[in-house]
Structure 1
Amino acid sequence: MANLFKRINRKEDPSVYEKKDSEMVRSLTTKDFLALGVGTIVSTAIFTLPGIVAAHNAGPAVTISFLLAAVVAGLVALSYAEMASAMPFAGSAYSWINVVLGEFWGWVAGWALLAEYFIAVSFVAAGLSANFRGLIAPLGINFPTYLANPISSKGGLVDICTVAIILIVMFLITRGDKQTSKVENVLVILKVLAVLVFIVVGATAIHLGNYVPFIPAHHVNADGTNFGGFSGIYAGVSVIFLSYIGFDSIAANSAEAKDPQKTMPRGIIGSLVIAVTLFVAVSLVLVGMFKYTNYANNAEPVGWALRQAGHPLVASGVQIIAVVGMFTALIGMMMAGSRLIYSFGRDGMLPKFLGKVDKARRLPLNAIITITVISVLIGALLTFNFLSQLISAGTLIAFMFVSLGVYPLRKREGKDISVPGFKEPLYPIMPALGFLASLWVFWGLDNDAKLYALVWFIIGMIIYFAYGMKHRADSQKAETKDNEDF
């Protein structure tokens, strides 16, 4: 038992990760990370969640839900910025926690994040597929049912658009980071312009009476969820938090950052500030244009509001750009997810071929192919709406680990870990607040999400104890021998 305890708490030498990740090209700048972060955070959610949460949970106070979720994300982002600046390794929370807390805890944090990426890639790709099919339907182009729906849906076989979309994104990210970042930067600019157009045009149709009462009286919806009062705002936070988790995609690519001590904090904090500003502005304009009850069961509240306000051409333009802009979220998620899978393979926690870097392109191609195949299977063959909150659940678990990880990190900065270019302010209070705030949001998730998170955790434990622990030990022995030979 003593040996087991020692084993699971064994901390990785940060110099090992520095050596292994040196095969990757450090080519990404602050501008690239801002585009990556904004592109991932400001995804389909900004065009849907403000209306959905306003109608089902918070009313006009959806803006408060967005702000509270942003505060929680901001607290964690400060810890992320210090971690990424001190340890610019691939794999973000998995690698960091391996170094500061130990092997087992790193696996738990990484395994939780892996659920986010597998499901989020499939979720966004299927959403993009549905929107694309909706855009081309007026042109008389319709897919047969068996090619438009997964096999688990009645009459469905495979969502062929979802398959094509994921394969296109895979093609983009295998071109190399610089080529990918150029495409990402252009698409992000287009998407932000679409959001700004909605804010400016929609602001001309605001009726102040739609904000009254700003916080509606509390009642319980027919499905058992809370509406109105602080309970409704809190319920909205748990749903909305999914929107802000994209800054982990920046940290996952730390090994490819130029001057990471500066670019990582700027990318993480900067992208979150931009995203929060856009989310709050969109929610204020949307609930000001029409009474929040109009957005109940409305899958496209932004487009609907613009059309009802007499701007059909603007609505079409915004929706077309929004569909194209969804690719930015997929690019960010697939890049980050593949780097996490690469990190598992690099350490022997999963098969070693996943941790190989292609010599010609200097990219983890095996990891990219793996996340592509799994995402295609989930998105094309399975319905997964019931799993959507698992994205938030897994990420929140990782966020709690990162917040707590700042404490042991501080003790090692300037010793075996470099002094970071950014340090979290108001230490030791802020990391504790980040942990408690993440726990608060996690507690607000529905019981199904917590149950699915538990099932995923059990699967992860089986893999760790049956495979990862042994193969990690073998990998460490090989690393020690290589160092001795050198």
Structure 2
Amino acid sequence: MSSPSPSLKRSLSLTSVVAFGLSYMAPSLVMVIFGIIAAASSGTAPTAFLIATLAVLLTALSYARMAGEYPESGSAYSYARRLIGAPVGFLVGWSLLLDYLFLPMVAWLTQSIYLNAQYPDIPIWIWMLINAGLTTGVNILGVVLSDRVNKVMAGAAMLIVLLFAAFCVVHLLGSPPRSVGDAWWNSGSTVSGVFGAAAIAAYSFLGFDAVTTLSEETKDPRRTIPRAVVLIMAIGGALFIGVALLMQLVHPGGEFDDPQIAGYTLSIQVGGQEFADWTNMAAIVAGFGSGLAVQLSSSRLLFTMGRDGVLPRRVFGALNSRTKTPVYALLVTGAMCFVGLSFDLTLATSFINFGAFSAFTVVNLCVVVHYVRNRRRRRLNPVTHLALPAAGAVVTLWMLTQLGGTALASGLLWLAAGFLYLLWLTRGFRRPTPRMTLDDAAEGQAPEPARA
């Protein structure tokens, strides 16, 4: 008799899942990239964020529908296996490895660069080890502790952004009237420029989908995860648009001495040097929550693929008997900090974007396939289950084409390597692609066979 598949412990509420998603997205990111978006859109950053919100919302709705149908860890990887086929699911999971392996590394590296700027006597590599070590330790001790720490960090991040927004409002009340209309569209605006800026702004939302990897640790996941996905997008989108509008009113137009530090410059303008320094430090501390959430979801994808036998099962598919956490998967993601010490940040970000937008496209297609298969035996709305996800697939494919040549070339090479690994794993497709080993009976449904 075969031993039961390892399963994760259900302990997360709707509030917990939303907090993880918001931490993953990093609310203070709007302050960091505002200058880049404003410059690209000729001073209409809120319009770019609005378009990005609406575009990504289409994919968020698709994730919500799939999470309600299949509440299991693995996210896009699991949906593609069930609905399109095991080989496609494998390649989606392989593509997502770019996203989930490099995201923790980039989070720690960015954090370490800012800490080094604040405390230059301590080198970046020491900050990397500290950041990776702390988040790995907290996540190994269990999802309950991670949840508590993450709620505090998510609250701190939101407080920072809201405090900055309040200072912007006070500054505007004491300044000459500004044209709100020009912040949305002005004489220098172009459709191509604003949509190009929206493609950049869409990267700010990467992470709303990560909460679907927590399905097996969430209470009542069929209801909780879909609601959480939509709430995360709604809260994040409203926050990004609102703060971008205030910042654009404080600094009309899209010309900056250095767009990359425009947020820090505006902090000085609205609150003074001391306020800017404290805000910068608080953002660094709050960023710890983002690294925590990123590593947590990354380890869950590795655990699911290890449990399936796609990755070595003894390493990635094992859970600690006491903490019920995938310790080895967490240690592997933690070890990525060493890669970050010598890796190019721009290329790492390109990998992340390629993996994310590829997965987004496939999840939208999964909803379409689900509609086609089930439309005769279930009452499914063709608008919400066909038209909207099809539009979402078109939008995410377009976003994929907006990436640079290096990103596309690197991503396609990684995908080709995954296909070769799949050929070896299946001995030229003479063996089946490793199947899902989830305990579907626990969810009250019969397991679906993997499709070769």
TM-score (norm 1): 0.82
Q: Deviations over 1:292-335 (max 9, x none)?
A: 44535243322211212343333233222211111121112111
Equivalent-residue separation in structure 2 for 1:287 and 1:311 (angstroms):
18
Question: 1:216: Cα distance to partner?
Answer: 5.5
Partner of 1:166: 132
Question: 1:452: Cα distance to partner?
Answer: 1.4
Determine whether 1:86 maps to 2:48.
no
1:283-298 equivalences under 5 Å are 283-298=244-259
Partner of 1:95: 78
Partner of 1:391: 352
Partner of 1:230: 191
1:66-145 equivalences under 5 Å are 66-137=49-120, 142-143=121-122
- Of 146, 151, 165, the residue aligned with 1:180 is 146
Change (3 A) 1:210 1:407: closer
Partner of 1:366: 328
Query: Identity, % of aligned pairs?
Result: 23
1:217-366 equivalences under 5 Å are 228-353=189-314, 354-366=316-328
Partner of 1:429: 387
Tell me the amino acid that sits aligned with residue 391 of structure 1: I
Change (3 A) 1:449 1:43: farther
Equivalent-residue separation in structure 2 for 1:79 and 1:20 (angstroms):
28
Question: 1:238: Cα distance to partner?
Answer: 2.1
Tell me the amino acid that sits aligned with residue 461 of structure 1: F
Change (3 A) 1:35 1:425: farther
Tell me the amino acid that sits aligned with residue 360 of structure 2: F
TM-score (norm 2): 0.87
Tell me the amino acid that sits aligned with residue 276 of structure 1: G
Q: Deviations over 1:151-176 (max 9, x none)?
A: xxxxxxxx221122111110111111
Asked if structure 2 preserves the Cα contact closer than 8 Å seen for 1:48 and 1:302, the reply is yes
Change (3 A) 1:126 1:441: same
Equivalent-residue separation in structure 2 for 1:385 and 1:478 (angstroms):
37
Could you tell me which runs of 5 or more consecutive residues in structure 2 were left unpaired when the two chains were aligned: 439-452
Partner of 2:19: 35
Question: 1:413: Cα distance to partner?
Answer: 6.6
Change (3 A) 1:306 1:83: same
Secondary structure, in 3 states, of the residue corresponding to 2:260? coil
Tell me the amino acid that sits aligned with residue 117 of structure 1: Y
Asked if structure 1 preserves the Cα contact closer than 8 Å seen for 2:5 and 2:437, the reply is no
Change (3 A) 1:312 1:447: same
Partner of 2:449: none
- Of 401, 411, 424, the residue aligned with 1:453 is 411
Change (3 A) 1:296 1:53: farther
Q: Number of residues paired by the alignment?
A: 430
- Of 190, 205, 214, the residue aligned with 2:156 is 190
Q: CA RMSD in A?
A: 2.9
Question: 1:471: Cα distance to partner?
Answer: 11
Change (3 A) 1:180 1:249: same
Change (3 A) 1:256 1:425: farther
Question: 1:250: Cα distance to partner?
Answer: 0.2
Question: 1:341: Cα distance to partner?
Answer: 0.9
Equivalent-residue separation in structure 2 for 1:477 and 1:95 (angstroms):
8
Equivalent-residue separation in structure 2 for 1:181 and 1:249 (angstroms):
15
1:4-43 equivalences under 5 Å are 20=5, 23-43=7-27
Question: 1:477: Cα distance to partner?
Answer: 12
Asked if structure 2 preserves the Cα contact closer than 8 Å seen for 1:349 and 1:472, the reply is no
Partner of 2:450: none
Could you tell me which runs of 5 or more consecutive residues in structure 1 were left unpaired when the two chains were aligned: 1-15, 149-158, 219-227, 480-486
Between stretches 278-287 and 200-209, larger displacement belongs to 200-209
Tell me the amino acid that sits aligned with residue 190 of structure 1: A
Equivalent-residue separation in structure 1 for 2:375 and 2:152 (angstroms):
39
Secondary structure, in 3 states, of the residue corresponding to 1:60? coil
Equivalent-residue separation in structure 1 for 2:83 and 2:168 (angstroms):
48
Asked if structure 1 preserves the Cα contact closer than 8 Å seen for 2:33 and 2:260, the reply is no
Secondary structure, in 3 states, of the residue corresponding to 1:295? coil
Secondary structure, in 3 states, of the residue corresponding to 1:64? helix
Equivalent-residue separation in structure 2 for 1:214 and 1:175 (angstroms):
47
Secondary structure, in 3 states, of the residue corresponding to 2:385? coil
Asked if structure 2 preserves the Cα contact closer than 8 Å seen for 1:210 and 1:291, the reply is no
Secondary structure, in 3 states, of the residue corresponding to 1:299? helix
Equivalent-residue separation in structure 2 for 1:171 and 1:464 (angstroms):
33
Change (3 A) 1:448 1:52: same
- Of 178, 188, 198, the residue aligned with 1:208 is 178
Change (3 A) 1:213 1:173: closer
Tell me the amino acid that sits aligned with residue 319 of structure 1: N
Tell me the amino acid that sits aligned with residue 101 of structure 1: I
Asked if structure 1 preserves the Cα contact closer than 8 Å seen for 2:27 and 2:239, the reply is no
Change (3 A) 1:436 1:476: closer
Question: 1:271: Cα distance to partner?
Answer: 0.9
